[in-house]
Amino acid sequence: MDRSRADNRGRALEWWVLGGTVFVSFVDTFALLPVLPVYMRQIGAQPWQIGMLLSVYSLVGMAGQPLGGYVADVVGRKRPLVFSLLGSAVALGLYGAVPSVWWLLAMRVLHGLSGSLFLPALFALLGERAGEQRAQVMGRAAALIGLAAIIAPPVSGVIARLWGAPMVFGVVAALMALAAIGVWYAVPDTRLPAVEPRQLRPWEVLRVPSLRAVYALTAAFTFCMGTLAYGFPLLMVERGYTTATAGKLLGWMALVAVPIMAFLRWRQFFVRAVLGLGIVLLSLLGIWWAHGIALLVLCMGFYGVGFGLIFPAVHVLTFEQAPAEQRGSAFALLYVAYSGGLIAGPAAAGVLSAVVFPAVVAAGLAGGILVGVVTWNLRQRWGWSVRP
């Protein structure tokens, strides 16, 4: 009896630590959003350097994801997770002490490299430790990410106003270090399949058709997200609203998405992902069509519903469709697709905005991907063929 209680307490501590790690790791991302560009300007960065410093983290992280997935498949999930948290803590702690823009660039590269180890190891570990409860666990992890997106930016803005940006960096670095210690002592690693490292090739997961479909849906989804991030604040200003109103509407979208991700138990994950992307597409078009704050609130709420449906679904699908020995690599490529959409969305919207509304660009590309994936799924399920 005593041993059973001890096991239950250990299991509960493990999940508290993992939940805290998910939350803290995305506080790392969202807390910097309102603070970092201003800090860069304070240390003398020119506009082009600010753009470079902001983008290099995502680019390095995206390029390093396949290596991060391979490492998670070779050495296990726990050690890359701890190393990533500690590396990010060191980089963040040094943000506030850099003597020049170029030293900050070096810290951004270190931060991006450390981060590239994190997501493949984290989601592979969550799925494996959760067992049959993986859908519930993935949904709650996604909800914690949403909470970080809601809470971190305003809190970091207040801290920066009172004590300066270096205090924000120091607080987040301390949280990352504490998370690393918690993972090391409270979270057991998962047993890896007995496979020679030389036999593991990260790109081989692309041979799994269902994973290619998941990656395509993910890229289409984040293309829409990137388009919204680029165009929505500008659209609101053009219509006479303030950026504060735009921020409140984005926060409303996240508030709608969080409970759906946390509590929805619908296990048809492919249907969830497809339906979620469809709702996101229609909502995005509605946002550009809607006039009046009531319609905008409605459209952003529906966007949050779509977000809440698709985000956990693509993670569960990736775990379930990937070979057990390559789950780290599968999640790495999921986040390559995720980051690629976030980068391509604003770029395409910016280039084509003089010709067509950004929402139309996103709907055209993502809608085409959605139709293609659904057609593929129908052919697989019912043996449909497309005649020439």
Q: So what's the pLDDT on residue 205? A: 80
| Domain contains 60 | yes
Q: Which residue range forms the structural domain that includes residue 90?
A: 2-188
Tokens of 50: 């600010």
pLDDT tens per residue, range 289-344: 888 889 999 999 999 999 999 998 999 999 888 887 788 888 889 988 988 888 88
157 and 207 both lie in a single domain: no
Reported as a pLDDT band with limits 50, 70 and 90, residue 176 is: very high
| Domain contains 120 | yes
| Domain contains 387 | no
Q: Looking at 6-10, 110-114, 229-233, which range is the least confident one?
A: 6-10
278 and 221 both lie in a single domain: yes
Q: So what's the pLDDT on residue 359? A: 80
305 and 236 both lie in a single domain: yes
260 and 369 both lie in a single domain: yes
Place of tokens 């959003």: 33
Q: So what's the pLDDT on residue 3? A: 54
pLDDT tens per residue, range 232-282: 777 887 888 876 777 788 888 888 998 998 888 787 888 999 999 999 999
343 and 238 both lie in a single domain: yes
Q: Which residues contact 238 (CB under 8 A, 6 or more apart)?
A: none
CA dist., res. 269 & res. 32, Å (int): 32
Asked whether the predicted pLDDT for residue 198 surpasses 70, the reply is no
Which of 221, 211, 219 minimizes the C-alpha distance to 376? 211
208 and 115 both lie in a single domain: no
CATH number, residue 243: 1.20.1250.20
Domain boundary among 141, 165, 188: 188
Reported as a pLDDT band with limits 50, 70 and 90, residue 197 is: low
Asked whether the predicted pLDDT for residue 204 surpasses 50, the reply is yes
Reported as a pLDDT band with limits 50, 70 and 90, residue 385 is: very low
| Domain contains 240 | yes
Q: Within the chain, where are the H helices?
A: 2-30, 36-42, 47-75, 78-95, 101-116, 118-130, 134-163, 165-186, 209-238, 243-263, 269-289, 293-321, 327-352, 358-382
pLDDT tens per residue, range 125-170: 888 887 778 878 888 888 898 888 888 888 888 888 889 889 999 9
Q: So what's the pLDDT on residue 384? A: 41
Domain boundary among 188, 211, 246: 188
Split into its structural domains, the chain has a count of 2
Reported as a pLDDT band with limits 50, 70 and 90, residue 91 is: very high
Domain boundary among 188, 218, 250: 188
Tokens of 143: 């909800």
320 and 248 both lie in a single domain: yes
Whole-model pTM? 0.83
CA dist., res. 79 & res. 14, Å (int): 15
180 and 314 both lie in a single domain: no
Asked whether the predicted pLDDT for residue 24 surpasses 50, the reply is yes
| Domain contains 131 | yes
138 and 250 both lie in a single domain: no
214 and 298 both lie in a single domain: yes
28 and 163 both lie in a single domain: yes
Reported as a pLDDT band with limits 50, 70 and 90, residue 387 is: very low
Asked whether the predicted pLDDT for residue 108 surpasses 80, the reply is yes
Q: What is the DSSP letter of 354?
A: T
| Domain contains 8 | yes
Which of 334, 374, 349 minimizes the C-alpha distance to 224? 349
Q: So what's the pLDDT on residue 6? A: 52
CA dist., res. 64 & res. 68, Å (int): 6
Percent of the chain with pLDDT over 90: 23
Query: Reduced to 3 states, what is the DSSP secondary structure of residue 353?
Result: coil
Q: How far apart, in Å, are the Cα atoms of 89 and each of 76, 117, 175? A: 21, 14, 8
| Domain contains 388 | no
CA dist., res. 199 & res. 221, Å (int): 32
Q: So what's the pLDDT on residue 386? A: 40
89 and 13 both lie in a single domain: yes
Q: So what's the pLDDT on residue 388? A: 35
Q: So what's the pLDDT on residue 84? A: 93
| Domain contains 255 | yes
Q: So what's the pLDDT on residue 171? A: 94
Q: Which has more confidence, 232 or 22?
A: 22
Count Cβ atoms below 10 Å from residue 313 Cβ, excluding itself.
31
